[in-house]
Structures are given as structure tokens and as C-alpha cells.
A and B are shown apart, each in its own frame.
Chain A
Amino acid sequence: MEEKVIICKDLTKRFGEFYAVNKISFEVNKGEIFGFLGANGAGKTTAMRILCGLSHPSSGEATVAGFNVYKQQESIKKNIGYMSQKFSLYENLTVLENIEFFGGVYGVPAAEIKKRTTQLLEQLGLTAEAKKFVGALPLGWKQKLAFSVAIFHRPKIVFLDEPTGGVDPVTRRQFWDMIYAAAAAGITIFVTTHYMDEAEYCNRVTIMVDGKVEALDTPANLKTQFSADNMDQVFYQLARRAQRSGD
């Protein structure tokens, strides 16, 4: 049996009378690229916050990397990486300083930071830019660097919240190459995106509507199930049914 790194069972988050996340259940395998889709207000962000150990669920069970989301939030945080389009790196620190800082935050030993940094800069082709401020880098490079930093401490799972928004099509694909490579190295990828073609790159895709998981399968099976040509149509068919909307 495959190792499960995220297990959710009837996970619920309620704000007063409003069920932001309503009894969602799913499991994510080790090394899987797991797409997490949904319209604005479907509850994606809330669910992701719970899984990252940032917020307590109202009811239900969930473990992330083997740790309980109620009691072991600190252990969860040590074992995951996180990157979003909005928050990634400190623009007024250099590339090197950013890597050292985040490596240090996650308790990577100094010698190890040094070794991995050299390796990372080489892979990204950023060795010459190591002493430049992150703010001066083009957006595409920033995003790639941010991803590398998010997996710098070799987390079991990395959560990516719309990592490729606004990035040019070539860089976007280079970014996905990095995701594939990380997955092949055994890191589980949990990713949200607005680009439906990116949903196709995922091993399995969840689509949330109004706080519930309305679909969960491989892209190919979902397309068959909804008799659609592509994921865009699948998503549209589901999201159109949404009763509520919000951010």
C-alpha cells in the first residue's frame, strides 16, 4: 500500500453559520502531485490553512505528514513547505540572504545550508546573481527561486498557492519541470491554480464547490466522467453550480 502523507476525514471549518469547508475527505499519496481547484470562495484557502497548521478545524480528522492538525501544528509546520504568489521572498534581501534566512528558520544546519545553496544556485543558473537583491530579479526567476526555497529544508509536502499567476508561458513550464523533479524526489505537491491546463499536469485533481469536494480523480477519469475534452470544461461544469461566491 502506498504511503499516505495527507489524510482528511470529514474535515469541517465553520464560521458561525457559514460552512467554509464542509466535511471534506481525501487522501494524498507520497510523491503525488495533487491539484486542488475551486472557484473563489469555494473553501480552498481555508482548507489549505488547516492543512498547513495555521488554523484549527471545527470538526473532522486530518493528519499531515503523520501529524494531527489539532494538536501537532508545530510539527506540521516543520515538515511542510509553503509558497504563494503573494508571499514568497524578501525583496530587499539578496538571493543568498533569503536562502540563508529561510534555511535557518527551518533549522537546516549551517554547513548543509552552504552545500545546498551552491547546488541550488547552480541548478537555477543564478550563481552570478547570488548577491543581487531578489526585488531586482524578473518575476519568473523570483517564482522559481521561491519554490526552491520552499523545498530547501526537504519537506515531506509542499503547498503551492497559485504559484504561477502572471508568469510567462515558458517560465510557467519551467516551473512545472521543477515541480515534477521535486515530486520524483519524493516530495508531495499540493497545488492550487487558475490555469486549467496545469490541472492536467497533476496526478489527481480535487474540485471544491461550496465547501465540498465535488470531484476527485485523475484528470483523464474526470474528463471521461464529465464527457469533457479538457479540464477547463470539467471545472466549468462543476463551478457553475456553485451557490455561493466570495473571496
Chain B
Amino acid sequence: MSAVLLDHITKTYDNGKVLAVDDVSLQVAEGELFGLIGPDGAGKTSLFRILTTLLLPDKGQAAVRGYDCAKDYKIIRSKIGYMPGKFSLYQDLTVKENLDFFATLFGSSITENYALIKDIYEQIKPFNDRRAGKLSGGMKQKLALCCALIHKPEVLFLDEPTTGVDVVSRKEFWEMLRQLKQQGITIVVSTPYMDEAMLCERIALIQGGKIMSVDTPAAIMAQFPVKLYAIKADNIYRLLTALRTNPTVESSYAFGEYIHITLHENATIAGLQQQMQREGHTNVAAKPIQPGVEDSFIRLMNQA
């Protein structure tokens, strides 16, 4: 039995005018840390709401731990933890009051599953009497995670937990998720940050309501069909403009200090490098590289 199952799910809004999710099927195994990777508006939140029984799909079937999301919503609600994308707790309640409230709401208490939240909660415990509205972004996020975990859910749904949070807090957050996974909780998490995909066991790349690919990050990167090169020069923008009009270059995208390019058949990177130098670009350097998730995402997007 898979922890999460989506079978040909379609969801539209405004009487079918807006297609949010387009025939999506995927499975998440028990105990897996699964990532839904895609930009805003890709359909991630709709999928989460369907799985957390908050929305009914137009078509298709969804199930969590074998329970149907439409029929058995009451059972599912007692088994899952959910952190919505815009979840911001009760600003006027203190840390402790928030936690107490959500614990009681889910028929539990802070002490009952303390082991599960201990590592996270101890980081915010010094601020027990502070109102949630006065916490920093990183601390709010930790408190929200505690609230979602307090009843020891079997499956945890986290909708963009790291959006708007700085790099340091993001790294800490992923570390917490890794530890939760070790305790056997299935985690489904969404993110618009491609670099976070590497931290998931399996990922689904989603764009425009469609799943472009589902696999381990390594497999997705390995499926990149052509050779990928990174090239740079002193004036990166001039180089990028030149590459775009160059007939041997199939695609070119800026990636940090480099430009990632793929070439048409019969072209060689050495040839391109020489040509660029001839055209007056200085310090042109190129090397073959392993594609990343973002390279794959862009390629799949362009194929669609």
C-alpha cells in the first residue's frame, strides 16, 4: 500500500475555466520524503488540498494510506499533519498557547508526543510566552511544524514551508525533515526552490498543472538526454547574447557565474569556445558538467 496515491486527478476552478491540475497520477511510498517541485501556480497547493481532503477533484481518485480522500475524509483527517502555504498561526496567542490549542484540537497534548517534537520545540521553547506574531520567520516556521506534528501524524503535508525564509533557516528546516523521516513519518513537501529537490528522496517536477517527471533526483538528472556544458567569459551578458544567436547552440541559460548550454549535433564545445574567443570574448572557459534538477526542469518545460 502506498502512503499517498493520486490517480488521474484533474481539478478546475471557476466552473472549469481555470485548469489547476491536469490529469496527475503519482504514488508516494511509506516513509518516503517526497518533493513536489514547481513554480507558483503549478498546481502544488491544489494537490495538497485534495490530499488533505479540503478539496474534491473534478476527476480521478486520491487516497492517503489507503483511505479515499472523498469518502473517508474523517479518518484521513485524524491521520495527517498539514502545514498550509499561507499558514501563519494565531498571531495574538503565545507560542505555548498556540501549541496547546492545536494539540487539544487534534485530541492530543504537548506531553503525549513530546519525543517527536522535542528537537524542534526546544529551539523555540525560550520564547514560550512570546506572541506568535512577534516571532521571526524561521521561528514561526518551526512553531508551525510543531503544531503540524503534535498529534503524531502518519503522513505530513508541507506546502511550501521554506518560501520567504532565508537560506540558514531553510537548511535547518530540511535537517528537521530528514530527522522526522527517520522516525518513519511519510513527508510530502512542495517547494519552488529547485536546489531543495536534491534533499528529497523522490521528486515530481510540476508545471502548469502537469507532472513532467517523477523519479529520484539522480534519475531525473541522468535522464537528461544530451551533453551539458558550462561556459563563462568576462562579460557574461555579452556572451549570453552571442550564444543565443549562435547556430550551433541549442539552448543557453544563465546559471550563476556560468551559462549552461547544450549544442546541436555535430558541434563541439571546443569549436564554440574558439569561435567565442574569435568574436572578442575574453577569458572564455568551458567544461562539461552534470545536469542539475533545474537543468532538467527547464528542458522538460521547453519540451512541453
- List chain A positions with a Cβ less than 8 A from chain B: 38-41, 138-140, 165-171, 173, 176-177, 180, 184, 194-197, 199-201, 219-220, 230-232, 235-236, 239-240, 242, 245-247
Within 8 A of A (CB), among B245-304: 253-257, 294, 297-298, 301-302
Q: By the criterion CB–CB under 8 Å, are A139 and B254 in contact? A: no
Q: By the criterion CB–CB under 8 Å, are A230 and B256 in contact? A: yes
Q: How many A-B residue pairs have CB under 8 A?
A: 94
Selected from A140, A170, A199, A242, the residue in CB contact (under 8 A) with B168 is A242
- List chain B positions with a Cβ less than 8 A from chain A: 38-42, 136-139, 163-169, 171, 192-195, 207, 236-237, 240, 253-257, 294, 297-298, 301-302
Residues from chain A with Cβ under 8 Å of B294 in the complex: 169
Q: By the criterion CB–CB under 8 Å, are A168 and B166 in contact? A: no
Q: By the criterion CB–CB under 8 Å, are B138 and A245 in contact? A: yes
Which are the 4 A-B pairs with shortest beta-carbon distances?
A168-B39, A200-B256, A166-B40, A39-B166
Q: By the criterion CB–CB under 8 Å, are B136 and A246 in contact? A: yes
Selected from A139, A169, A184, the residue in CB contact (under 8 A) with B237 is A184
Selected from B136, B237, B298, the residue in CB contact (under 8 A) with A41 is B136
**Once the chains are docked, how many angstroms separate the CA of A230 from the CA of B166?**
17
Residues from chain A with Cβ under 8 Å of B167 in the complex: 39, 194, 196, 232, 235-236, 239
Q: By the criterion CB–CB under 8 Å, are A173 and B254 in contact? A: yes
If the complex has contacts A165-B163, A169-B194, A236-B171, are A139 and B39 also in contact, measured as CB distance less than 8 A?
yes
Q: Which residue of B lies closest to A166 (CB)?
A: B40
If the complex has contacts A39-B168, A41-B136, A170-B302, are A219 and B257 also in contact, measured as CB distance less than 8 A?
yes
Whole-angstrom distance from the CB of A165 to the nearest CB of chain B? 7
Q: Which residue of A lies closest to B137 (CB)?
A: A40
Q: By the criterion CB–CB under 8 Å, are B256 and A240 in contact? A: no
Q: By the criterion CB–CB under 8 Å, are B256 and A167 in contact? A: no
Whole-angstrom distance from the CB of A172 to the nearest CB of chain B? 8
5 pairs across A/B with beta carbons < 8 Å?
A39-B168, A40-B166, A168-B42, A245-B136, A245-B139
